[in-house]
Amino acid sequence: MSLNPIDAAYFLIAAAASPTLVRKSRGGWSERLGIALPAEPERTGRKRVLLHAVSVGEVNALRTLVPILADQADVFVCTTTDTGLARARELYTDDATVCRMPMDFSWGVSRILDRVRPDVVGLVELELWPNMLSVCGRRDIPVAVINGRLSARSFEGYSRARPIISGMFASLAVAAVQDESYAERFRAMGARRVEVTGSMKWDAANLSRDSQKADELAEQLGIDRSKKLIVAGSTGPGEEELLHAACPSGVQLLCAPRKPERFDGAALALGECVRRSIGEKRDGATRFLLDTIGELRLAYELADLVVMGRSFGEQFGSDPTEPAALGKATMIGPSVGDFTAIVAEMEKAGGLARTTRRSLGADLERLIRDDQSRQKLAEAAERCVLANRGSSARHAELLLALSDLTKRRRGPRVGG
């Protein structure tokens, strides 16, 4: 096994970070190292599209795109994290082959490309890995960034390294980005073809409801449906304490931490709370912890008011489109750097309430007691989601056009 300079650099970084990597990575090392690969794909003769979505957020963003692509191509959804892999298997097993993307060592990238043999690779949002881009370039496989975004803070960091990494941006066949501000940053970094295609998160926001399962969740937790419920989704460090203190008297609070490793700490922050994972139910409880994966949407259905987590500290917000699509009044804090365009669009439409750490208690009190204001906020949010849908179809058209060019250039695929 020969090492290129990028591989050697990765080894040095891995050696320095090995205690953290081992602690955070719960398994799948044979897949992470490119040893275990997905099963040999069926030889259908159709176009092959490989989508690389690192974690849960990126996986969810593909919810509408994957079925569109699957009508005309063989789709492979590759993800990196354990939670992302679990979510991809939950969503896409019927429409795509789901597997873990190896770490960006040259041999792992080569092996996954040997197995999948894609006609085009779509990197969700912004995951430019040197070996992936290099190996795809040598094999004449076009690589596109889809649902692209480049936040102001990321752009600042990338700009300092522009002489080194501008070639990666220039190697992209196309950068399909969410709005014009992101487009300007991609161009500044060296991307040659940039198209504004909108955000697929509007499409990925599921409009359907499952009231029966939501009711079952409420019953199993002991949530009193006759009392108001605030649901805080994707909470980050320190936010459970903040929400616990700010929650109005007599109002129930359910918190759903973003990361599983924070579940125990969140339970302590909420005091005497009912934990979903334990399966307990306690009559009269007012604090609930959703320490499971895949049930947050059901909790949103139960909410009278939703508060988006990761927006009150040093993190950069969570996606408000899912509760908005369910017609729920939604509030978010001041830190929204990862969702600037979406938050701005929802605010402009009157479909999102903003707050701060200092004003959170008063804002919750005002809105939870005012049914008419909540209803107005919820209706505007749902209209905003509906008005912004359609980006997934534009991304599908772009990816299929690139894959079609690849297949014509290569000619018939011998032996599949």
**pLDDT 10s digits, 35-76:** 777 777 777 889 999 999 988 889 999 999 999 999 999 999
Q: Using a pLDDT cut of 70, give the percent of the chain over it.
A: 91
pLDDT in tens, 240-262: 999 999 999 999 999 999 999 99
Residues 63 and 156 in one domain: yes
Contact between residue 101 and residue 78 where contact means Cβ atoms under 8 Å apart: yes
- How far from 70 is each of 21, 63, 75, CA to CA, in Å? 34, 12, 6
Residue 232 belongs to domain spanning: 211-387
Domain of 274, CATH number, reads: 3.40.50.2000
Residues 378 and 324 in one domain: yes
Q: Does the pLDDT at position 415 exceed 70?
A: no
In a domain, 221, yes or no: yes
pLDDT in tens, 376-409: 999 999 999 999 999 999 999 999 999 988 866 6
In a domain, 14, yes or no: no
Residues 397 and 382 in one domain: no
Residues 167 and 37 in one domain: yes
Residues 376 and 287 in one domain: yes
Does pTM surpass 0.85? Answer: no
Residues 329 and 398 in one domain: no
What is residue 105's predicted lDDT score, i.e. its pLDDT?
Answer: 86
| pLDDT, averaged across the chain | 91
Residues 105 and 253 in one domain: no
> Average of pLDDT values for 224-233?
97
What is residue 14's predicted lDDT score, i.e. its pLDDT?
Answer: 63
> Average of pLDDT values for 310-336?
95
Number of domains in the chain: 2
Q: Which residue has the higher pLDDT, 374 or 7?
A: 374
Residue 204's φ and ψ, nearest 5 degrees, are: -70, -20
In a domain, 9, yes or no: no
Q: Does the pLDDT at position 212 exceed 50?
A: yes
Contact between residue 251 and residue 311 where contact means Cβ atoms under 8 Å apart: no
| DSSP state letters, 186-244 | HHHTT-S-EEE---THHHHS-----HHHHHHHHHHHT--TTS-EEEEEEE-TTHHHHHH
- Kindly indicate the confidence band of residue 416, based on its pLDDT and cuts at 50, 70 and 90: very low
What is residue 207's predicted lDDT score, i.e. its pLDDT?
Answer: 85
> Average of pLDDT values for 81-98?
92
Residues 184 and 223 in one domain: no
- Rounded Cα distance, 345 and 331, in Å: 14
